[in-house]
Amino acid sequence: MSETGKIFVTGGAGFIGANFVNEWVRNTDGHVVNLDKLTYAGNLENLAEVEGNSRHTFVHGDICDRATVDRLLADHRPCAVVHFAAESHVDRSIHGPDEFIRTNINGTFTLLEAVRAHWVGLDEGARGGFRFLHVSTDEVYGSLHPADAPFTETKAYEPNSPYSASKAASDHLVRAYFHTYGLPVLTTNCSNNYGPYQFPEKLIPLVIRNALAGKPLPIYGDGMNVRDWLYVTDHCAAIRAVLKGGKVGETYNVGGWNEMPNLQIVKEICAILDELHPQSPCIPHASLITFVRDRPGHDRRYAIDARKIEREIGWRPVETFATGIRKTVQWYLEHQDWVANVESGAYREWVSTNYSDR
């Protein structure tokens, strides 16, 4: 797929989507049509880099709104759709699964139907080059024991939360549209992302924010839940690589080869903050670590086998966890105004709801 044409991105004001949009405009000659509902995690400040750029068109809208999606596809005739839009926080899915079903399942279905109608109407050459890339998660695969091999693309799905179940359903819909209708789809299942513009409900930005404020650093259970960590710009590069060289109908796992427990993550962040923020009255920041009651259905371990994407497409992450986490901490230290702006009353209410009884 050419990087000089026009692509349609859903959820492009969120954490991963905004990083992708910024990277696409920065590194290609292509045009991005960016549809985002601007829920609590969608933020136009994430797109300040491309504000006013003629190669970025932002549209405030919902993927569940078929008329809006149809209109954008007809008006802009993109050569690819990159589907990020999703509710993505496990804890929120436990407290309120309704929105996860609506956005992740019904929204993906609405988008697929609109894209299928658009694709069928293209001329033969454009139809052959068109791609629909669905961005998903490793959480659909379930939980691993310590000695288990990492997830491969053929691992059976075993989702354990409303979030992962809704993403698993969307993955199956995307697969079905390839096998039933021939829609040229690609799916990526990524490990835990981190980096700039991540909403501070997730572990890494939450820990940085709380540490800077001298607040407790809440760690679920014993802190030994293991995740593979992927720096967000590496993920963006992987998506571009799959768009360009992925085989239609295939799934590609995207991982960072950085498997470690949550407690170690928090301690590394604290050590970097001790170094970069020596004026803090809370040094050592690790003294703020507080263990809280575990969440229901908390998967013990995720690990991604990302050899297929390296073997078939040649992608491998550039950042180690050591380099990526330092860049992340530095970014949050340098962008505390951004953090303050996203910490709305709704965010404070959410933190109270999720952690007050733990």
Which pair of structure tokens corresponds to residue 286? Answer: 């690790």
CA atoms within 13 A on the CB side of 354: 23
| b/e per residue 332-353 (b: at least 16 CB within 10 A) | beeeeebbeebeeeeeeebbee
Cis omega (within 30 of 0) for bond into 97: no
Q: Which residue is catalytic, options 139, 171, 234, 299?
A: 139
Query: Pseudo-torsion of CA 351, 141, 42, 12, nearest 10°?
Result: 170
3-state secondary structure of 82: strand
Phi, psi angles (nearest 5°) of residue 326 = -65, -45
Q: Which residue is catalytic, options 163, 177, 197, 220?
A: 163
Torsion sign across C-alpha atoms 120, 122, 127, 129? negative
Whether 139 sits among the annotated catalytic residues: the reply is yes
Other C-beta atoms lying within 10 Å of the C-beta of residue 279: 5
Distances (CA, A) of 116 to 174, 185, 332, 343: 11, 11, 40, 38
Rounded CA-CA distance 143/136 in Å is: 16
CA angle 325, 328, 330 (to 5 degrees): 110
Q: Which residue is catalytic, options 36, 91, 138, 228?
A: 138
Whether 268 sits among the annotated catalytic residues: the reply is no
Whether 349 sits among the annotated catalytic residues: the reply is no
Partners of 103 in the beta sheet?
Answer: none
Other C-beta atoms lying within 10 Å of the C-beta of residue 53: 14
Active site residues: 138-139, 163
